[in-house]
Amino acid sequence: MNQKLALSDDILLKIEKPERYIGHEINSVTKDKSKVKIRFAMCFPDVYEIGMSHLGIQILYDMFNSMEDVWCERVYSPWLDLDAIMRKEHIPLFALESQDPVKDFDFLGITLQYEMCYTNVLQILDLSQIPLNALERGEDCPIVIGGGPCVYNPEPLADFFDLFYIGEGETQYERLLTLYKECRASGLSRVEFLRRAGKLPGIYAPRFYETAYHEDGTIKSFLPVEEGIPAIIRKEIQMDVTDTYYPLKPVVPFIKATQDRVVLEIQRGCIRGCRFCQAGQIYRPVRERDVETLKKYALEMLKNTGHEEISLSSLSSSDYSRLPELIDFLIEKCGTQHVNISLPSLRIDAFSLDVMSKVQDIKKSSLTFAPEAGSQRLRNVINKGLTEEDIIRGSTMAFEGGWTRVKLYFMLGLPTETEEDIRGIADLANKIAAAFFETVPKEKRVNGRVQIVASTSFFVPKPFTPFQWAGQCTREQFIDKAYLTRKAISEQLNQKSIKYNWHEADASVMEGVLARGDRRLGRVIRRVYEKGGFYEAWGEYYDHDRWLKTLEECGLSADFYTHRERSTEEILPWDFIDCGVTKEFLKREWAKAQREEISENCKVKCQGCGAARFGGGICVETAR
Amino acid sequence: MRLRVKFKKYGPVRFIGHLDVMRFFQKAIRRAGIDVAYTGGFSPHQIMTFAAPLGVGITSNGEYMDIEIHSITSCEDVRKRLNAASVPGIEIIFTGLLPDHAENAMASVAAASYTVRFREGRAPTADLSAFIPDFLSRDHILYTKQTKKGARELDLKPGIYEFTCSGGGGCETPSFHILADASSAGNIKPIQIMEAFLAHCGEVLQENALLITREEIYTRAESSRLISLEDMCCQS
């Protein structure tokens, strides 16, 4: 047993949840330091319970540790209590398994899952005692590499990373690490390694690129500054999702993580093509995992973890072709073993209601619909193929089956949205309540009523979506829209059955700035961090005015990045990335959105998005 | 059938809190493939009882948990399988079946023994062992307990069954042996005794000064004799 702890007993007894920092969890991997060549610290820049719930890191952790000469360990953001102590006592940030300082590692990999964690990235670097700016790092510093969905526009973080890995991690890391070993063996410098790494597929080395700007602040050019550095970087993709790495022995935390269950990723990608959704574009094409393999994995992972729940993970589980077979198998095997089955992202229909009635307590569970927009017109704009009829029919069936709770998710501020569309949210919620009263006779109503919870978030345009050119609403517009929604709901006949929740508008504005931002935002992120900003994905630590003021100090404005509608001719900060889906396709979809035309999903008709060039997944299956 | 499991807790995992140790065992039992019994209803859980929660940071050579099981290969086989499903620092050292009418682990607890030492540099310099006879001969050992509702005065005296010291002369740090009431009605913590003892010696207990190990948990057998919870088992 590794008895060593980076933190003293005095500290561990003083802070909240010391278990976050001691490692030793079941299935965590310990190796003999003297026998490995590469030490890799894999970081999720948020608190342990959130980071430990992330499947991607578990996959990479398993992959790296399957390499004999690599030892991959985990790092999470210390919570504020420990953060303060580490700064005061100059304790360097450490990895959980060995408890060794991160600064002594070869690599520090940071996954970027959401924009509001960007200041936490700086906290990680700072506590690790690694210079924040990549250009200031010496030969002894770890190579700092970023991955995850936010690297589809890495530019706001370009100053702080040595490399970005664009796409799915399964494919290029082995090559990258081999290159690293070769460079080290032949005594090459850090910069030379980065130069060579930047020529590998999917690897972006930001220091070898330069951006020039027009006077109006838009990009004039974005080019490599050295011969041989690629101008375009294509995303990496694991085409065979069955014959690849999967963490059959995921780490099981002692404290309850957000995701306290076995997670079975059944497929990657989504056939739907909702125009607001980045995941629906960047993970194309859809690739299904073999159902027999999944069955085997499910049993093995339950055995290896002892978890009492299993959850299927994908962007749209109902679209997995072998779903009924897989669920039947799980119900049969899990029922006898006291394992709960959780099925997020299911479309509500007769099949899913039947399944849900078998695996959930109907009295306690609720039904979830994500119409995203209140009117059919606007649902056509965003290409959300869910009709009012679908929702009313699904709800009616559910009410007949005994459900009494319905959750509805909407977005406010979608392109072309009018007051009518917003009123449609209230109208739809009212119609669902009316369907309940029509369906369920008085004497059968549990507690006498139905509960409908309508939640709205604010739409933030993301790179590589057909809405990447769209103007985002201002904070004031967002708030007006939320008030209008609330008012419209309060005017409904069944308003007593409808509860309305809305998100804060402030953070959505900054999320929008960072999502479509450029390199100049690096200074802003750094200054906000230096003024004490981190953990800003946690509402209570988010300071909107600090961001606005800092933007102003740096001569930038939020509106430039958010509110401004971009021309399709403009050079976008992320144009150097090729995510498989072509710009031509996105332009077509943007035009169709404005004409309120829908596009059929990949299973019905290929829309020629460009992902077919990867030569697999749904693109090949449909063509057959 | 009820199976009693005795385990040690040491090393870095001493920082895992009681509720998380329970969660750990729920999963470990499943990993070990033990035929554990569940409660009924829509959210069934394993039928499991712990003797006494152990404070965060305290190590132990004698923690107990009872689980209800449907069937068993052998106690030794279960012990081995649980250890294979465990982490370094949580080590199962005994498993045994309880007689049908035996009280469960939690209800049985009457006393617990501890070894207490000082962390380096946090021991008073005086020879503390000399103060023990006088300390134990007092009629009352009053201790003010701070609770959320305010301060409450306790008399520790009736609950201190044994209190001895070894070492402590010269360069050696003293090691205290404590046997004290651990029943739900009169539980006394070793830190309370040490605080009262140091006050008696005219010393002050520094923050986090103590290294505490729980050694054993006892129940009252016939004629109020103390026996370990392990000894309540009829078969092992």
Query: Does some domain include residue A81?
Result: yes
Of all residues in chain A, the percent with pLDDT exceeding 90 is: 89
3-state SS class at A38? strand
Contacts of A5 in chain B (CB under 8 A): 12
Please give the residue of chain B at the shortest CA–CA distance from A253: B24
Token representation of residue B125: 């310099």
Element (H, E) at A155: none
Distance CA A387, CA A245 (A): 38
Q: What is the pLDDT of residue A43?
A: 98
> Is it the case that residue A495 has pLDDT exceeding 70?
yes
Task: Annotate A509-547 with DSSP letters as a single string.
Answer: HHHHHHHT--TTHHHHHHHHHHTT---TTSGGG--HHHH
- Select the residue of B43, B89, B208 nearest A13 (Cβ to Cβ): B208
Nearest to A255 by CA among A573, A525, A16, A545: A16
Token representation of residue A569: 């001719």
- The 10 Å Cβ neighbour count of residue A3 is 10
- Select the residue of B15, B29, B85 nearest A19 (Cβ to Cβ): B15
Of all residues in chain A, the percent with pLDDT exceeding 70 is: 98
Instruction: Say whether residue B208 is in contact with chain A using an 8 A CB cutoff.
Output: yes
Query: Does some domain include residue A125?
Result: yes
Q: What is the pLDDT of residue A363?
A: 67
Look at the pTM and tell me if it is higher than 0.80: yes
> Is it the case that residue A354 has pLDDT exceeding 90?
no
The region of weakest confidence among A245-249, A427-431, A541-545, B123-127 is B123-127
Q: What is the pLDDT of residue B235?
A: 74
Please give the residue of chain B at the shortest CA–CA distance from A303: B31
Query: Does some domain include residue A364?
Result: no
> Is it the case that residue B172 has pLDDT exceeding 70?
no
Q: What is the pLDDT of residues B110-159, one digit of tens each?
A: 999 999 999 998 988 888 889 999 999 999 999 998 888 888 899 999 99
Query: Does some domain include residue A60?
Result: yes
DSSP B46: B
Question: What distance in Å separates residue B186's CA from the closest CA in chain A?
Answer: 25
Distance CA A373, CA A461 (A): 15
A96 lies in which domain range? 9-234
> Is it the case that residue A185 has pLDDT exceeding 80?
yes
Query: Does some domain include residue A339?
Result: no
CB contact under 8 A, B31 and A26: yes
- The 10 Å Cβ neighbour count of residue A215 is 6
Nearest to A465 by CA among A590, A299, A315: A590
Query: Does some domain include residue A579?
Result: no
pLDDT band at A351 (very low <50, low <70, confident <90, very high): confident
Query: Does some domain include residue A288?
Result: no
Which CATH number characterizes residue A224's domain? Answer: 3.40.50.280
Instruction: Provide the β-strand partners of residue A341.
Output: A310
Task: Determine the straight-line distance between the first and last CA of chain B, rounded to whole angstroms.
Answer: 13
Question: What distance in Å separates residue B195's CA from the closest CA in chain A?
Answer: 18
pLDDT band at A1 (very low <50, low <70, confident <90, very high): low
Provide Rg for chain B, Cα atoms: 19
Question: What distance in Å separates residue A616's CA from the closest CA in chain B?
Answer: 37
Token representation of residue A604: 């019905």
Spell out the residues 6+ positions from residue B192 whose beta carbon is closer than 8 angstroms to its own.
B143, B145, B154, B156
**Residue A326 in contact with residue A295, Cβ under 8 Å?**
yes
For the segment A586-612, the average pLDDT, to the nearest whole number, is 96
> Is it the case that residue A58 has pLDDT exceeding 90?
yes
Instruction: Say whether residue A306 is in contact with chain B using an 8 A CB cutoff.
Output: yes
Measuring CA to CA, how many Å separate A188 from each of A53, A227, A228, B53? 38, 19, 18, 56
Nearest to A46 by CA among A534, A411, A408: A534
For the segment A588-593, the average pLDDT, to the nearest whole number, is 98
The region of weakest confidence among A496-505, B35-44, B216-225 is B35-44
Distance CA A593, CA A572 (A): 20
Q: What is the pLDDT of residue A84?
A: 98
Please give the residue of chain B at the shortest CA–CA distance from A96: B12
**Residue A13 in contact with residue B56, Cβ under 8 Å?**
yes
Q: What is the set of domains in chain B, with CATH numbers?
A: 2-108 (3.30.70.580), 123-205 (no CATH)
Contacts of A13 in chain B (CB under 8 A): 56-57, 208
Please give the residue of chain B at the shortest CA–CA distance from A300: B31
Number of domains in chain A: 1
> Is it the case that residue B171 has pLDDT exceeding 70?
no
3-state SS class at A158? helix
Query: Does some domain include residue A92?
Result: yes
Q: What is the pLDDT of residue A622?
A: 66
Sheet architecture: strand order including A405-412:
A367-372, A405-412, A451-458, A498-502
Element (H, E) at A442: none
Nearest to A423 by CA among A456, A377, A374: A374
